[in-house]
Amino acid sequence: MTRERPIGVFDSGIGGLTVVHALMRALPNERIVYFGDTARLPYGTKSSATIAGYAAQITEFLLKRDVKMLVVACNTMAAVALPVVTGLSPVPVVDVLDAGARAAAGVSRVGRVGVLATLTTVSSGAYERALRIHAPELHVVAKACPLFVPLVEEGWLDHPVTELTAQEYLRPVLAQGVDTLVLGCTHYPLLKPLLTRLVSDTTVLVDSAETTAARVAAVLQAQDLCRPPGDMPPAHEYHVTDVPQRFRAVGALCLGGPLPDVHLVRW
Amino acid sequence: MTRERPIGVFDSGIGGLTVVHALMRALPNERIVYFGDTARLPYGTKSSATIAGYAAQITEFLLKRDVKMLVVACNTMAAVALPVVTGLSPVPVVDVLDAGARAAAGVSRVGRVGVLATLTTVSSGAYERALRIHAPELHVVAKACPLFVPLVEEGWLDHPVTELTAQEYLRPVLAQGVDTLVLGCTHYPLLKPLLTRLVSDTTVLVDSAETTAARVAAVLQAQDLCRPPGDMPPAHEYHVTDVPQRFRAVGALCLGGPLPDVHLVRW
C-alpha cells in the first residue's frame, strides 16, 4: 500500500529535524525516514556543484527505502539542487524553500519581505525567484546570517551574543521597511523567540518548518496518500553519515525530546 | 635533489594558511604545496573515524606530489589522526599540536596552561597528553570554542560579538589562574589582537602557527633538508576540494595578500 509507505525527509545535518518536528505535529500518523549528512555538513558555505552531487546521493538512498514522498528540508539544497532531486524522483517532492516562499508571498501588507538564510542560499537568489513567482511585485531583501547555525548548535538560543549578532544581521533588513521575515534555514526556527523580541509587533516571522509541514499535508491529501491511523504510533528512523552522538544532542533541541532510532551510514 | 622538493602542508580548509604564512616568513626559500579540504570542512565537530579516513586520503595525495616533509596544519587532524599520517609517510611529519605543546610546556611560570580549541580537539584530550610529555606536572584547562572559526570566517576579527563570545569562553579558563593560553586551532591566530586585550599583560598567548614554523625549520636543519636560495622566489601551489572563491577571500585574510595558484581537486 502506497499510503503505508514513509515520507523521506533530508537535510545537510540536524536542522531538518525542525521540519520533522512540525511534520509530527501536523501529521501524527505518518512514518518518517530522516537522512542527515552530518559528516559533510554544513552545506551553506559550499559550492552548488558539490551540493548537487551530495543531493543526488541522498535522493537515491531514500528512494531505495521506498518512500512515498521526498521532503528537501534544507534550504541550501532546495536553492541549488532541486532539479537534481526532482529529476531522479518518481514520487512527489516538497521543498522548504518553495513552501516558505508560497506562505510569505501572501503575508506582506507593504510588499517588502526580508529573507534570512545561509551564504549559499542568499547567493543563489533562489528565494527572490520563488517569491516573485507568487508575488511578482514584491521587494525582497535577502541577508546571509552565517553565524546563526553555529550559535544554535552551541545551544545559545537566548544568549547576549546571539542577540547582538541578530541585531547586527537584522539592522540593514529592517531599515528597508520589511513587515515579513522568512526564516530561510531550518536551524532558524529555534531562534524564533529571540528574533520575535527584536522586531516590531506587526512584523510576521515565516517559519519554513511549519509552512513545509502544511504543504506536505496538502500534497498528501490531494494525492490521497495520507497514512490511516493505526493501533500503534508510527515508528520513525534516522540515518546520519557521522557518529550520532552530536546529532542526538542537538536533535533533542529540535525535536523537544530524545531520538530513539539513529543509524550510521558509512559513505 | 631532496632539498629542492616542496613541503606539503594540509588542513581541513583555510585555517592552515596561518601556518603557511608563518612558514613563508620563517623559511622564505621553501616551496609549499598546500591542501585544504574545503568541501568537507569543518572537521572540528566530526568523529575521529571520519577524520582519520580524510587524513589518509590527503596524505596520499601530497606524497604523490613528492613532498620532502608533511605538516599537519590542523589541530583536529593532529589530535585524532596523527598515527594514520605517520604510518603512511616515509618523510618527516611535523604537526601543529605537538609544536604548540612543546612551546607552551616551557612557558608557564605558575604551572597552569589553558588550551582553546575545537570540540573534537578538546574531547580527544590530545593537548593534555602532549603537554604532559614535556611537563608532567602541568595543570591543563582545555576549553572548546566552537564559535571562533565561524566568527573568523565572517571576518569579525575585532567585533563586539567576537569580544563578548571570547569573554564567555575565557571566563572559566582564566578563573583557574592560567598564565599561558595555547591558541589550539589554526584559525585562532587571527583573533590574537582581540584576545590579547582580554587577558592580563603577564598572560602569554602561544600561537601554534609560529611554533609550527619554528619546529619545521628545526627539523629541516637537523636533517639537512633546507632548500638553498635561488634566483627566483619559490612558487607555491594550493589545492582545495571545493570551488576556490571563498578560499581565496578568507585565505587573503590569513596570508595578508592574494593567493595566486589555486587548483580544484574533485573527489
Q: Which of B147, B164, B243 comes nearest A160 by C-beta?
A: B164
pLDDT tens per residue, range B47-72: 889 999 999 999 999 999 999 999 99
Within 8 A by CB and 6+ apart from B220, the residues are B27, B30, B69, B226
Find the residue in B nearest to A40 (Cα): B40
Residue in B38, B146, B160 closest to A154 by CB: B146
Looking at residues B36-43, what average pLDDT do you find? 89
CATH of the domain at B48: 3.40.50.1860
What pLDDT does residue A45 have?
76
Q: Are residues B28 and B85 in the same domain?
A: yes
Reported ipTM: the value is 0.83
B131-160 residues touching A, CB cutoff 8 A = 146-147, 149-151, 153-154, 160
The shortest C-alpha distance from B164 to chain A (Å) reads 6
Asked if A74 and A165 sit in the same domain, the reply is no
My answer on whether A84 and A181 are in the same domain is no
Q: How far is A80 from chain B (nearest CA, A)?
A: 15
Residues A179 and A236 in one domain: no
Same domain assignment for residues A220 and A177: no
End position of a domain, from candidates A179, A209, A239: A209
Same domain, A113 and A205: yes
* A146 with B154: Cβ contact below 8 A: yes
For A58-119, the DSSP string reads HHHHHHHTT-SEEEE--HHHHHHHHHHHHHH-SS-EEEHHHHHHHHHHTT-SSSEEEEEE-H
Same-domain check for residues A259 and A234 = yes
Question: Which of A14, A38, A147, A169 to probe the B interface (max B CBs under 10 A)?
Answer: A147
Determine, for residues A39 and B49 on separate chains, whether the beta-carbon distance falls below 8 Å.
no
Q: Which of A:25-64 have CB within 8 Å of B? A: 38-40, 45-47, 49-50
Task: For residue B254, indicate whether it is catalytic.
Answer: no
Q: Please indicate whether, in this complex, the C-beta atoms of A146 and B164 are within 8 angstroms of each other.
A: no
- Same-domain pairing of A53 and A133: no
Residues A201 and A248 reside in one and the same domain: no
Strand A93-95 and strand A112-117: the pairing is unpaired
Give A 169-208 residues with CB within 8 A of chain B.
none
Tens digits of residue pLDDT in B184-243: 999 999 999 999 999 999 999 999 899 999 999 999 999 999 999 988 889 999 999 998
Task: Say yes or no: B17 and B59 in one domain.
Answer: yes
Of the residues A209, A226, A247, the one at which a domain ends: A209
B237-240 and A69-72 strand pairing: unpaired
Domain that holds residue A254: 2-95+211-264
Which A positions 209-248 lie with beta carbon below 8 A of chain B? 242-243, 245-246
Q: Contact B164/A168, CB-based, under 8 Å?
A: no
Gap from B121 CA to chain A (nearest CA, Å): 15
Q: How many structural domains does chain B have?
A: 2
Where in the sequence numbering do the catalytic residues of A fall? 74, 185
Cβ separation of B39 and A50 shorter than 8 Å?
yes
How far, in Å, CA of B231 to CA of B238, rounded?
Answer: 22
Q: What is the pLDDT along chain A (267 residues), one digit of tens a residue?
A: 799 999 999 999 889 999 999 999 999 999 999 999 999 888 877 888 999 999 999 999 999 999 999 999 999 999 999 999 999 999 999 999 999 999 999 899 999 999 999 988 999 999 999 999 999 999 999 999 999 999 998 989 999 999 999 999 999 999 999 999 999 999 999 999 999 999 999 999 999 899 999 999 999 999 999 999 988 889 999 999 998 888 898 898 889 889 888 999 988
What is the 3-class SS of chain B, one letter each residue?
CHHHCCEEEEECCCCCHHHHHHHHHHCCCCCEEEEECCCCCCCCCCCHHHHHHHHHHHHHHHHHCCCCEEEECCHHHHHHHHHHHHHHCCCCEEEHHHHHHHHHHCCCCCCEEEEEECHHHHHHCHHHHHHHHHCCCCEEEEEECCCHHHHHHCCCCCCHHHHHHHHHHHHHHHCCCCCEEEECCCCHHHHHHHHHHHCCCCCEEEEHHHHHHHHHHHHHHHCCCCCCCCCCCCCCEEEECCCCHHHHHHHHHHHCCCCCCEEECCC
Query: All 3 cell numbers of residue B11?
Result: 588542513
**3-state secondary structure at position A9:** strand
Cα distances (Å, whole numbers) of residue B239 to A226, B58, B212, B258, B261: 49, 10, 21, 15, 9
Instruction: B209-212: list long-range contacts, CB under 8 Å, 24+ apart.
Output: B209/B18, B209/B19, B209/B21, B209/B22, B209/B73, B209/B96, B210/B22, B210/B26, B211/B96, B211/B99, B211/B100, B211/B102, B211/B103, B212/B19, B212/B22, B212/B23, B212/B71, B212/B73, B212/B94, B212/B95, B212/B96, B212/B99, B212/B100
Domain boundary among the residues A165, A192, A209 is at: A209
Nearest to A39 among B46, B146, B154 (CB): B46
In this structure, the answer to whether residues A216 and A87 fall within a common structural domain is yes
Domain match, A105 and A79 both:
no
